[in-house]
Amino acid sequence: MSRYDEIYAVVKRIPRGRVASYGRIAREVGCGAREVGYALAATPDNWGIPWWRVINSRGGISARRGGEGGGETRQRRKLLDEGVVFDSRGRVDFARFGWREASADFLAAEAWSPDSPESSPDSPPDLPADSSPPDASSPADAER
């Protein structure tokens, strides 16, 4: 299975009305967030990969190469059609719409479990307790 196939397999598990960050997918697959972006940009529409459910770590839609804006509008429309809500800054609340399922490998790599002391309703599996909230800006955001 190629790396892109691994990425597609994870993205296919994100249910309707939920989102995940590029970094979340990357950590589960074991690659960089940019590689996830490249894989999704290369995905033909007829493959059935819900690429629009993957957003940036701040909860926003990342600009597409070429800067035309059509891809962002299309992604936003698809998410709105699934019931995902954007705030006034154009961001999605991961606590409300974030994908919470994770593979056993991902949970082990993130050292998260439902019984761990650092887990709480405020830190779902797709946002480990030691990470900043999705709307916080930091230099590390570019890496996620």
The torsion angle over the Cα atoms of residues 122, 125, 126 and 131, rounded to 10 degrees, is 60
Half-sphere exposure of 3 (CA within 13 A, CB side): 15
Q: Which residue has the higher pLDDT, 47 or 143?
A: 47
pTM assigned to the model: 0.69
Q: Say whether 19 sits in a helix, a strand or coil.
A: strand
- Our CA dihedral for 88, 90, 94, 95, rounded to 10 degrees, sits at 10
Coil, strand, or helix at residue 21? strand
* pLDDT tens digits for range 6-64: 999 999 999 999 999 999 999 999 999 999 999 999 988 889 999 999 999 999 998 87
Domains of the chain (ranges plus CATH)? 3-113 (1.10.10.10)
Query: Residues 61-86: pLDDT tens digits?
Result: 988 765 455 668 899 999 999 999 99
